[in-house]
Structure 1
């Protein structure tokens, strides 16, 4: 009986088992049902990305009944607040673009699913859903019904999802065994030994060599055949097509030589080719793993949170030093870095960074709060349940909501070359093969194989990711943490730099503060101190540190209005502090300084005057930057420091004062409308809108939790004077990419010129191919490290 292929999963089946629906053949009712579901929900373009991409649904009756248990569900969920829940499921069947497409359109299949996002390398899908509409069990059953059954290990979920794939090591071992033994058995042929016993057993040795080549040809090289087959099916030829073709051509040619006694064939070259290509692939894999490890686990964000010690002291600590059981103080607008238990009467938490919903959620004492929320209002304390998950913060920072839609030129070059290179290479190889066929059949096959192997654009494809991965790692070590590789290209294009003033070009650590007005009593100072305790604004933090210690108490009501000031209510008192407009006090225009005005119980008391201390190296930095960039300083303060800044900074620096947050954003838009590529450097609090609008937004961090998903990078405040260095390094990184592109193309041109003229054997081509990848990776590593050591 004739075997046929299922339209959904591609599996072969016999005619007696076929199921016909919508004029299509299916191997079982399960596959037919999945197709029917897709048809009813207008999702049949699932099959356009790749033919037969699906998997046969399995019978899972009763398998997931444990998902009715709320305790188990709470262990699997990443986030669970009111009606919004988030879960990340490991799905082993994810393998192609069709899988990605269908898994990112789950909301069309199941009401209640809000969004779904696929992490293809880890084979995970992160699903945000409304728990009041759909349960986790229903989602799992739906995924299983369409052939994407998740793997769930209750005891060790994380470990269970990270199975180590050693198949490449096994294939490399088999290829090396075959290559080594074939080389050994081929020595008499190499040296043309003509002794009697050699001549008598020559045929035996040749067939033994043929047998030894089969494991390498059929098993070790199988990955190239599968990749090439899928590539041809999808209509997009990848770089594995010429490699697979070259291997098959060499095997057929060598087999013909042995069968018809034309010679010993090229099985030594064939197995050597497979071995060296797998060796190059292993090198690439190990290097990628290394770069990924460096990025995920060592590039800690330089943000701190306030820890309350056992003796009641408040101490800023780095987030990765937080441990289970610690007690943390979280101020207004601060991000909660860990899951914890709330220790406060009540609190309002904004989870928009996690869910995209900006509606605050009310929590009371004893409730669990999740990492990623932002405190609104008064200061709260929480007890840590788990240590900081750095990968989770990275996930928040990289949320699609905060991504800027920017084209990557280097990526476009790589994609374009990979897309057109393979068809052109196949055409060239056929033309040259036809030419040599009239001269020498043996040489024609050698030339064809050498061309197919030596011209593989692996080195070209490696250039951009390895360069940018290394640059991200080096910048991270130097306390500049960039969100992704795209930011490096944008940094290289910057021609305009906009600085915030307070907390950016001024430092929080060295500030002379004086008080003007009615002398405050200890009771009033206590009110002021406890009001400032809940604020994260740079002026608030400085003033908080300036006022002596008093007994701590929490305000009944607390409201911080961005760019204006703070209102707070205690049992018997109310307090307002901020700008003169906010407290409705007309200050004298003759004495323009940065001030925080204080009003207690409706009576104006006076103001604290800040004599700003500017960061060390500010003048030298601006002087260097002014030669290449347009410089702007935007400040929400009055222009009391204009004369000082005009004296300190270059004459071409534009100073703009009295800017509200929305005005800063509009100013950035105006500069961009003029064709400028703008980098904004701010403190991450009042500047969030401007940071998000700019081409590159850099948030400066200095002992406060200023983590902001809206920014593209976080820079430790101690590295402020190195801004020029970072910009030059980004330009040199792009220069390195283009140089290595040139190196890769030069290698291909030279290699092809030798291969076309018949001066390059397939074995030498096989050795050169992985060597080219090693050369490119070494080159970009050396150059990026060299540029990193250049002086500012």
Structure 2
């Protein structure tokens, strides 16, 4: 590089003498960025383009509009005055190097706390501190490192929804070239030995060479780039043999026409790239289909309470519209962006930003989706629908990422890697043999082996099987966080259930009050205190009690696993366990009870008569054959005799379990080799759900979504849990069968390739067909499993 040009941004360095690693920089800023990239092992970023740090002259002043508050408000997803979150569309994202640099923006500027790339959608989601950084500075930073975002002022969108058409363009170029090369090859195919052929064959051959150039250097470039990066990082991927085969075909064909040895293999070369891209296009379309099937609606069967004509009506979250008035209870997530109408709002945004300090909000303040209300009940007005918020992104938030073993995916990758090594070895050995026996066949054999034995079919088995089953589960009201949960579910050997709200139904519970009569003022305070809680017993009692005036509580606090306390005017009330309200009893309680005290005076108790979910006994009898079963309840032992009659004899029953006790119980059994499925209600069980190998939340008409869970099961499908686990096991069998089919195909294909009976272009046609056949097999098999599910 010219010593007077900055290595990072490309500007003239004038008389500056700033150097680092024998590279010249125009300023300390460029030098610092280079040092950060070097320390983070990201210097391969400079391989992408020369002077990547240059801020194009045409963008100077281009983003001044990002200083206007009204525009910023339209673009950002979250803004609490200190932290902003925005998702920007970056058209230039194209490889792993792009991901590395964009997910390390915090090293370029410490004000950026987090950045996540969605490679498929070409977006980066950045979280940054607004006290020292701004949206405009973020956009300029991205532009300076070569990733200028696309921002449309017409509709205030930070990205366009048009699909990336580069693959279609490359497919078109390859198809056009392939058709013309085949046409020009016809005279030599039919061995036409006439004057016009002798006169024009050199022209035809050089035309074929010309048509192959855009195919090799444009249409096939992704394979070469991927192979280069894989070799550079010492990782073997499937693009290496494909790129090697294409290079060999191109060089051999070029040599043949230069020295007039023959017409070369340009027909095979262009056909190879065309059919590879066609297979890739098919796979991309299929992935898009699966992604479409798993939209936000699939993730959130949960309901939120909507206030209609002063009545509280549960509605599905994706039915929320702008202007709807919503009731948010204690510990509920705010499903959409909105304005606080009334109530004491103390919002925990840790689900969004990772910061656990609750933020107080007053009436008229804006509330953002994903926050959790922690101080009683509030009312808000929705200003967006759920699609426009980012509640659906919570499950993928790094805050909740947990290293749950993903063994089968690792196995697939390991097979693909070893497969590549084996295929390369076979290709070189077979080529050496044919060079000795019949050198005219050597090149065809080498290329055909590399192409026919592509392990794409093996790599596609797991994602397509799991992806399709994920879609089927969603239609059956079993909503999984991601495809890997299916694999984890298939390895389960221990199932632990919570009791209240999980194996019991909130809708059919009955309660009887015993004790001192409650005054009208106490009944009103009790009703309004219960109104703010999402605990199953609270919801049941709230529905049973008579209607009372709605009042705004002065204080509200919920103690997990113990009870609730609240105050209004001069009255203070406690609702929960006997110990929590300060009541001591010597008699054994035989049923679940909720005790009440007012101004430290014990008033009485509501005794519940639980109604268990339909099909509970039948479900447990099916599960006991293959799994260790346990019930962990925070309630007393009053229901033990009833449960013993309902459940199999070997079911473990543990009562008076606090949230921490449940977590420790699971952790201990995991150390003993247990693979644990935890089924809970998503409230007191958050720790246990996160600790388990698979955590499933039972969803009724309450907003109990927890990012700690791996799946949400609609309460109406509770008795089908065994069928879902069985289907997950069947999915693994499908993958193993698809592996066997792929192996069988490769053995036959290799036989014909090694013996010189298979032309490269035929191999290129068969390779995507093998991938398509695997996709068809897995789709049909998983659909068959789906039909067996009720």
Same fold (TM over 0.5): yes
Match of 1:347 in 2: 345
- Aligned ranges for residues 254-333 of structure 1 at < 5 Å? 254-309=253-308, 311-333=309-331
Return closer, same or farther for 1:98/1:251 CA change in 2, 3 Å cut-off. closer
Q: Which of 638, 663, 666 is the matching residue for 2:664?
A: 666
Shift in Å, 1:600: 2.8
Shift in Å, 1:704: 0.1
Shift in Å, 1:178: 3.0
Q: Is 1:655 equivalent to 2:653 in the alignment?
A: yes
Match of 2:139 in 1: 140
Look up the SS of the partner of 2:580 in the other structure: coil
Return closer, same or farther for 1:121/1:4 CA change in 2, 3 Å cut-off. farther
Match of 1:408 in 2: 406
Look up the SS of the partner of 1:314 in the other structure: strand
Distance 1:395 1:8 in 2: 38
Shift in Å, 1:577: 1.6
- Deviation string, structure 1 residues 443-465 (Cα, Å, up to 9, x no partner): 11111111121122222222222
Distance 1:269 1:96 in 2: 28
- Deviation string, structure 1 residues 617-658 (Cα, Å, up to 9, x no partner): 000000010000000001111111100101110000000011
Shift in Å, 1:320: 0.3
Look up the SS of the partner of 2:345 in the other structure: strand
Distance 1:50 1:40 in 2: 13
Distance 2:654 2:6 in 1: 65
Q: Which of 27, 34, 37 is the matching residue for 1:38?
A: 34
Q: Is 1:221 equivalent to 2:217 in the alignment?
A: no
Report the RMSD for the aligned CA atoms in angstroms. 3.0
Shift in Å, 1:52: 5.6
Length-normalised TM-score, structure 2: 0.93
- Deviation string, structure 1 residues 214-251 (Cα, Å, up to 9, x no partner): 44444433333333344444443432222222223223
Match of 1:109 in 2: 108
Look up the SS of the partner of 1:581 in the other structure: helix
Shift in Å, 1:439: 2.3
Q: Which of 674, 697, 707 is the matching residue for 2:695?
A: 697
Look up the SS of the partner of 2:355 in the other structure: coil
Shift in Å, 1:527: 2.7
Distance 2:52 2:200 in 1: 50
Match of 2:121 in 1: 122
Q: Which of 464, 470, 473 is the matching residue for 1:472?
A: 470
Look up the SS of the partner of 2:748 in the other structure: helix
Shift in Å, 1:368: 0.5
Residue pair 1:684, 1:711 contacting (<8 A) in 2 also:
yes
- Aligned ranges for residues 774-789 of structure 1 at < 5 Å? 774-789=772-787
Shift in Å, 1:208: 4.6
Q: Is 1:541 equivalent to 2:545 in the alignment?
A: no
Count of matched residue pairs: 787
Residue pair 2:296, 2:392 contacting (<8 A) in 1 also:
no
Residue pair 2:306, 2:325 contacting (<8 A) in 1 also:
yes
Match of 1:564 in 2: 562
Shift in Å, 1:558: 1.5
Q: Is 1:771 equivalent to 2:754 in the alignment?
A: no
Distance 1:370 1:297 in 2: 17
Q: Which of 511, 514, 519 is the matching residue for 1:513?
A: 511
Shift in Å, 1:110: 2.3
Residue pair 2:677, 2:696 contacting (<8 A) in 1 also:
yes
Distance 2:263 2:33 in 1: 57
Look up the SS of the partner of 1:158 in the other structure: coil
Moved more, 134-143 or 764-773: 134-143
Match of 2:171 in 1: 172
Shift in Å, 1:389: 2.8
Q: Is 1:688 equivalent to 2:691 in the alignment?
A: no
Match of 2:152 in 1: 153
Shift in Å, 1:791: 5.4
Residue pair 1:296, 1:391 contacting (<8 A) in 2 also:
no
Distance 1:157 1:455 in 2: 48
Return closer, same or farther for 1:247/1:147 CA change in 2, 3 Å cut-off. closer
Distance 1:595 1:263 in 2: 92
Gaps of 5+ in 1: none
Q: Which of 756, 759, 762 is the matching residue for 1:758?
A: 756
Gaps of 5+ in 2: none
Shift in Å, 1:746: 2.8
Shift in Å, 1:185: 4.3
Shift in Å, 1:681: 0.5
Return closer, same or farther for 1:225/1:650 CA change in 2, 3 Å cut-off. same
Length-normalised TM-score, structure 1: 0.92
Distance 1:739 1:390 in 2: 41
Moved more, 173-182 or 268-277: 173-182
- Aligned ranges for residues 77-92 of structure 1 at < 5 Å? 77-92=76-91
Q: Is 1:736 equivalent to 2:742 in the alignment?
A: no
Q: Which of 452, 473, 482 is the matching residue for 2:450?
A: 452
Return closer, same or farther for 1:15/1:263 CA change in 2, 3 Å cut-off. farther
Shift in Å, 1:100: 3.2
Match of 1:711 in 2: 709
- Aligned ranges for residues 534-683 of structure 1 at < 5 Å? 534-587=532-585, 589-683=587-681
Distance 1:741 1:35 in 2: 50
Distance 2:153 2:235 in 1: 40
